[in-house]
Structure 1
Amino acid sequence: MNNYTPLHPSRLIQAFCHYLKRIEFTGNSLPEQRSQRNTKGMIRILYTDDSLPVGGKEILLLEYLKRIERDKFQVHLITLSSTGALTDDAIKLADAYTCMKRKHKFDPWVILGLRRYMRDNKIQIVHTSQWIDSLYVYIASLGLRAKRISTIHGYISGWRRRVHKLVLGQFEQAICVSQSSRDELIRQGYQAKRFSVIHNGIDLSKFRKKSFYNDAEKKLIIGMTGSFRKERDHLTLLGAVHRLIKAGYKNVELLFFGGVLDPVCKDDVLNYILENEIGSYVKFSGVQRNILELLSQLDIYVASSHSETFGLALVEAMASGLPVIVSEIPPFMEIIENGKYGLYFEKGNYKKLAMEIEFLMNNKSEMIHYGALAFERSTEFSIESNIDQLENVYRKILD
């Protein structure tokens, strides 16, 4: 038997990249230039995303494109697989844009396209936000001078987590969106060279503090935003509202805002509604871009997730002056400072959630009080602060 030493995965990837460089690339479109301004001396940044659907991290990316100092930074944008609902808005804001049109989960043509783009445009920093674009950027950037940064917006499991750990360990910077997220990632064994925490931010100027009126006949509207998936735990909120209805609170309504990522979760919610005959108390809004108008309809906001890295939708509700009730998970408790700025319940405990909702329903002064506290706390999560911290990371990483 011949003895041999297996190549380290990074050496295999380097060999693969060397092979790709010898292939003529014709599969993807050239970058669409959106600006002809003088960019001499600017820091050249490339943002990546898979397709830019309507979502929290994608909306945050639009804010980056809109607000980053354009006299100091030149901003490029690439989507890997396709265009999404936010792509047109993003194109108008970026200095250059291209879609790589990924056809498979692992598409070597996209790796080559990314590599050539970074090389030809002298990209200095690449900023990713998902495990898949981080993997592509890692392979494509081997041997180039570009610094790599990733913001981690969610947890993953299985083989994807193992790949993500390997990739992120080679990045120059990993940005966590909460301290609790950072702690959890370290517990999971992530070994990034540098971890930093930058809370997600929102444009506070768009939000207005809610006014509460003494109208006994008005329905009390409870709501939650977010796509239907297991982690959001819509059933706990639904169970709490059902319990209130059975207790005689008939003047209540539940609104769910968000699309469907997991059809099974949506089906479970619909089946619960049908089995318990509470369809007249529950409404669905679907994907909505005008979140301000939706939040203005609510009296109480509930975040019942059992797993999150932050809580951007929660902060938006707080910025609208809504009293909030959250599941007792670390990122939510970080936002409400362990009950100082909102109420909380044990995750999955619909009875305790029903008690907290009932407390606010029966105490209008407390509803107003917690709404004011929530509004006060939200001012600490401005997009301006987020951008300032991010720009500092960009500058330091090139020092």
Structure 2
Amino acid sequence: MLPDTILYLNHVGYIGGAEVALLDLLRHLDRERYAPVVLSPAGALSDAVRESDAEWVRIPLLPGLNRYTLPCFLVRFLQLVGPIRRLRPALLHANTNFTSLYAGLIARSLGIPSIGHIHDIEPLGRMGRRLVRQNDVLIAISDAVQAYLVAEQVPADRIVRIHNGVDLQKYRPRSVRSDSGHEGADLSVIVGIVGQIGRRKGHLYLLEAVRSLLPRYPQLRVWIVGQEPRQSIEGCTEQLQRFV
């Protein structure tokens, strides 16, 4: 019996948190039961997908959704339907908020189920709410994301909360003190934030809060681990460096 084809739709080619979760999923997927195919723009993600022995199909950049971009959105929708139909998937899995707007509509037009994997809390707008509800199931990665979806009028019985997993064989704890060069250090309190650097991630809020606390708690230290996507135009890294 041939394995069922599952399509994973991702709107960017770089690797951020959602893409790390997708790659972990690909590595642990039962290949005797499922044949994964990832659709995304070219980039670091496509290289990593091929290294995981999964199939990759290139797609163009997808426009966002508002009243000005609606014509472009519909053109991309029609451009995706044909290739996806030819792959004959058993399931369409949108790996981001963004692609969840496309997946439900595409899947319904092809008569297949779809899942929207919601990682972020971002306003959907009227059209976005209608489109995201076209998915059969929405995965929320946290209680906060689940509450956000309910507030966006998604039926609660169609939301499943699944936290992102961590591969403990890959990420093994090490001594913070020895790695930091603070061996035998005093009573420093280290606050860490790990992940993609971007305005919506809240790094600036953290640093503003720490700056206000330093007069009372001079032992506070902040570690920021991550990088800003090359395609980003926000310049968050430069803004964070003002606090160094």
Give TM-score scaled by structure 1 length.
0.50
2:234 corresponds to 1:263: yes
Q: 1:128 offset after TM fit, Å?
A: 0.3
**Compared CA separation, residues 135 and 184, structure 1 to 2 (3 A):** closer
Q: 2:193 is aligned with what amino acid? A: M
2:166 corresponds to 1:207: no
* Aligned position for 1:86: 45
2:14 corresponds to 1:53: yes
Q: 1:220 offset after TM fit, Å?
A: 6.5
Q: Give the Cα–Cα distance (whole angstroms) in 1 for the partners of residues 53 and 157 of structure 2.
A: 29
* Counterpart mapping for 1:292-331 below 5 A: none
2:210 corresponds to 1:240: yes
Q: 2:31 is aligned with what amino acid? A: R
**Compared CA separation, residues 205 and 221, structure 1 to 2 (3 A):** same
* Counterpart mapping for 1:1-399 below 5 A: 40-79=1-40, 82-102=41-61, 104-105=63-64, 106-108=72-74, 110-157=76-123, 160-191=124-155, 194-211=158-175, 215-216=184-185, 222-226=191-195, 227-240=197-210, 243-244=213-214, 246=215, 249=218, 253-260=221-228, 263=234, 265-266=236-237, 268-271=239-242, 273=243, 282=244
Q: Give the Cα–Cα distance (whole angstroms) in 1 for the partners of residues 61 and 200 of structure 2.
A: 27
Q: 1:249 offset after TM fit, Å?
A: 4.0
Q: 1:256 is aligned with what amino acid? A: I
Q: Give the Cα–Cα distance (whole angstroms) in 2 for the partners of residues 269 and 95 of structure 1.
A: 37
Q: Give the Cα–Cα distance (whole angstroms) in 2 for the partners of residues 98 and 83 of structure 1.
A: 9
Q: 2:125 is aligned with what amino acid? A: R
Preserved CA contact (<8 Å) 1:230 1:265: no
Preserved CA contact (<8 Å) 1:170 1:193: no
Q: 1:189 offset after TM fit, Å?
A: 1.8
SS at match of 1:263: coil
Q: Give the Cα–Cα distance (whole angstroms) in 1 for the partners of residues 147 and 121 of structure 2.
A: 12
Q: Give the Cα–Cα distance (whole angstroms) in 1 for the partners of residues 58 and 147 of structure 2.
A: 35
Q: Give the Cα–Cα distance (whole angstroms) in 1 for the partners of residues 174 and 234 of structure 2.
A: 33
Q: 1:112 offset after TM fit, Å?
A: 3.1
Q: 1:174 offset after TM fit, Å?
A: 1.1
Q: Give the Cα–Cα distance (whole angstroms) in 2 for the partners of residues 196 and 243 of structure 1.
A: 38
* Aligned position for 1:8: none
Preserved CA contact (<8 Å) 1:175 1:198: yes
SS at match of 1:206: coil
Q: Give the Cα–Cα distance (whole angstroms) in 2 for the partners of residues 107 and 167 of structure 1.
A: 12
Q: 1:108 offset after TM fit, Å?
A: 4.7
Q: 1:167 offset after TM fit, Å?
A: 1.6
Q: 1:107 offset after TM fit, Å?
A: 4.9
Which whole-Å deviations, capped at 9, do the CAs of 1:131-162 have from their partners, x for residues lacking one? Answer: 432232333334322111111111111xx433
Name which one, 1 or 2, has greater alpha-carbon Rg: 1
Question: Identity percentage over the alignment?
Answer: 22
Preserved CA contact (<8 Å) 2:10 2:39: yes
Preserved CA contact (<8 Å) 2:105 2:134: no
Q: 1:225 is aligned with what amino acid? A: V
Q: 1:264 offset after TM fit, Å?
A: 6.0
Preserved CA contact (<8 Å) 1:182 1:195: yes
Q: Give the Cα–Cα distance (whole angstroms) in 1 for the partners of residues 163 and 240 of structure 2.
A: 31
Preserved CA contact (<8 Å) 1:47 1:77: yes
Q: 1:192 offset after TM fit, Å?
A: 6.6
Q: 1:144 is aligned with what amino acid? A: L
Q: Give the Cα–Cα distance (whole angstroms) in 2 for the partners of residues 195 and 253 of structure 1.
A: 38
Q: Give the Cα–Cα distance (whole angstroms) in 1 for the partners of residues 147 and 73 of structure 2.
A: 33
Q: Give the Cα–Cα distance (whole angstroms) in 2 for the partners of residues 57 and 64 of structure 1.
A: 11
Preserved CA contact (<8 Å) 2:190 2:223: yes
Q: 1:248 offset after TM fit, Å?
A: 8.4
Aligned-residue CA RMSD (Å): 3.1
Aligned residues: 228
Preserved CA contact (<8 Å) 2:97 2:117: no
Q: Give the Cα–Cα distance (whole angstroms) in 2 for the partners of residues 108 and 188 of structure 1.
A: 23
Q: 1:50 offset after TM fit, Å?
A: 0.8
**Compared CA separation, residues 192 and 172, structure 1 to 2 (3 A):** farther
Ranges in structure 1 where 5+ consecutive residues have no aligned partner = 1-39, 274-281, 283-399
